[in-house]
Structures are given as structure tokens and as C-alpha cells.
Amino acid sequence: MDRWRVLSLFPLPAEQIRPLLGDLPERVDLTMLLHPSVAALHAALADAELVLAAWQGTHPLPFDAAAVAAAGPSLAFVQQPSVGTDSVDLDGLAARGVPVANTAGANARSVAEWAVGATICVARSMAWADREIRAGGWPQMDVVTRSLGEIACLRVGVLGFGAVGSLAASLFAAWGCQVAYWSRHPRPEAPFPWLELPALCARSDVLLLCLPLTPETRGLIGDAELGALPAGAIVVDVGRGGVLNPAALIAALDTGHLSGAALDVHPTEPLPPQDPLRTHDRVLLSPHAAGAAGQAVARVISQAVANIRRVLDDEPVHDVVNGIAPTVTRRR
């Protein structure tokens, strides 16, 4: 049997990614496109059988409808090396019978730890105090008056109770926080109470968003939800940009109803240079990197490569997200 043709869009130099692939390059014909043009991507897709897609949602050449159309008849499987699949045309690939898999849970601890750390940073005005001191100030008393204080006394509401949300809930609970959550369906095994969204907002000093971006979640948190939060609350978003309305967030911060926010994800990435969030002194910004701890990246690559090995070994792949059977059949 001929070697499978694998196309990698993973944005790491060859000398960095090859050691992470183990024996995979010895078992396949591997093509790596680090900085391709649209034309180069589409040309490579015409002959690819297996695709290791790009991991960052801001990849300049997402696996969109045009890429699906450019893919040749041999395309049999797409592995997304991340939890989110925003940059992949899932419906288009499903229509062609091509399974798409993600790396569910691989970076959950990294993201959950960032959520807790960011909450502490905002609640205690750490980043703001750092900037003030570097500018020549000494805002000792200002830190007291603008901060929420110890997080152990805070009530945390978690939106989305998947791998990230459930782990973050446990970490917050370990700090002494009172935790509740909302998801589309209550989880009987969850050790925390499930509340309807309005009730969750009404009791959350910290509102943590761990939701994917779907038609149902787009714009889910806006003026009404933020207005329902207790005065001085904090919003932390580690899910996907577009779930939280940024204009509503800025308005709630400007009125003083919210005391701060920490955002790892944004509706447009990179964040536009003139976006008002860039200059807001009550917002902690991160470049969609909460899940990018070195250990998490290694787990992401390991899970992605393991799935490609399953294809080579005629085994069902794991974590298919577009409803297609996990058995990958070679197409001639």
C-alpha cells in the first residue's frame, strides 16, 4: 500500500514540529505549509489525503468552504489540533463524508489555570498596579479601593461545563469560592449546582465564560446579562469571541457596574489596533493564549498525531466533531 499523503498546516517550523511527530514522517509522505498563499494551500489540498489543520483560530488560511472545494477526491480525514473548530468548515466536510476530529480536553488544565490566575489578577488589580508603578506612581491605597479583594469570598458562575469549565469550577472551589454553573443540559455528576442563566448571573461575582461559539451562543452575554451581575463583578472569557458582546462589556465597565474583565478571546483576532479594549484600564487582555502552556501544546500535538496513527493502523479515530463515522476509509 502506498504511503498516505499528509498535509500539515501546523504553524511551527519543521525543526520544531518534526521531533513532536515521532515516527509519523517515516510512515507518510508529509508536506508542510507554514506560510502558504491561498493558491498554494488549495494546490496542496488537491492531492492531500489526511490534513493536520492549523491550531490557531486566526490562521490566515482557515479550512473554509473554499478550501473544502479545492480539496481533491482523495481527502479522507481532517485533524484539527485544538479544541475549537471555528476555522474549519464542518458542514462542508460532512457533506463530503470527511470526518473532522479535534483534540478534546488537551489544553483544559492550561485554560482553567489561566482563568483562575486572571481572576486573581483582575480582582486584586495586579496588572493595573504594575502599570501605575512603572509610570512613576505608587497606588497603594488605590489598589485597596478598586479591588474586590480575596477571591475566597467570591461567588463564581461558570458558563459551559465541558472539560475547561468543570476543571475551572473545581479549581475555584479549591480556593474557597462558591461555585455554580450553567450549561444547556444539567450534569447529574457535577458537584456544583446548576442554575438557569438569569439566576446564575444574579449571584455571580465572577462570571466565567467557557462556551464555544455556535449560533445558539453568539451574543449570549449582552446588556441584560451583564446588568444582572452584582455590582463590582468581574467577567472572564476563555471560550470564544462572539459569545460576549464587547460593546455591552465596555458600557458596563464605564458605568462602574463591573469592576473588571479578563479576555483571552475576541470576536476579531488579532484585536484591531484601535479597539477600545486595548486602552481600557480595567481590562486584562491575552492573545488567545490561555491554552498555550508548553505542556498543553505537547498534549495537543500528541493527540493529533495519535489520531493520524490510528488512520494508518486502520483503527477508528477519536473525538470526531462533525457527525461522520470515525472509521477513515482511503479514497482512490
- Measured between alpha carbons, how far is 206 from 116 in angstroms, rounded to an integer? 10
* Contact status, residue 107 vs residue 81, Cβ threshold 8 Å: no
Residue for cell digits 492531500? 48
Q: Please give the full DSSP string across 199-265, using - where no structure is assigned.
A: HHHHT-SEEEE-----TTTTT-BSHHHHHHSPTTEEEEE-S-TTSB-HHHHHHHHHTTSEEEEEES-
Q: Which residues contact 171 (CB under 8 A, 6 or more apart)?
A: 112, 113, 115, 116
Residue 135 pairs in a beta bridge with none
Task: Tell me whether residue 184 is one of the annotated catalytic residues.
Answer: no
| Catalytic one of 5, 240, 266, 299 | 240
Task: Tell me whether residue 216 is one of the annotated catalytic residues.
Answer: no
AA identity, residue 125: S
- Cα of first residue to Cα of last residue in the chain, in angstroms, is 12
Task: Tell me whether residue 269 is one of the annotated catalytic residues.
Answer: yes
Full strand arrangement of the beta sheet holding 50-52: 28-32, 4-8, 50-52, 77-79, 100-101
- Measured between alpha carbons, how far is 300 from 284 in angstroms, rounded to an integer? 26
| Catalytic one of 269, 280, 309, 318 | 269
**Alpha-helix residue ranges (DSSP H) falling in 46-139:** 65-70, 90-95, 108-123, 126-134
AA identity, residue 291: G
* Contact status, residue 211 vs residue 159, Cβ threshold 8 Å: yes
Whats the size of the chain, residue-wise? Answer: 332
| Catalytic one of 124, 288, 299, 310 | 288
- Measured between alpha carbons, how far is 48 from 133 in angstroms, rounded to an integer? 54
* Contact status, residue 180 vs residue 157, Cβ threshold 8 Å: yes
Q: Which residues are catalytic?
A: 240, 269, 288
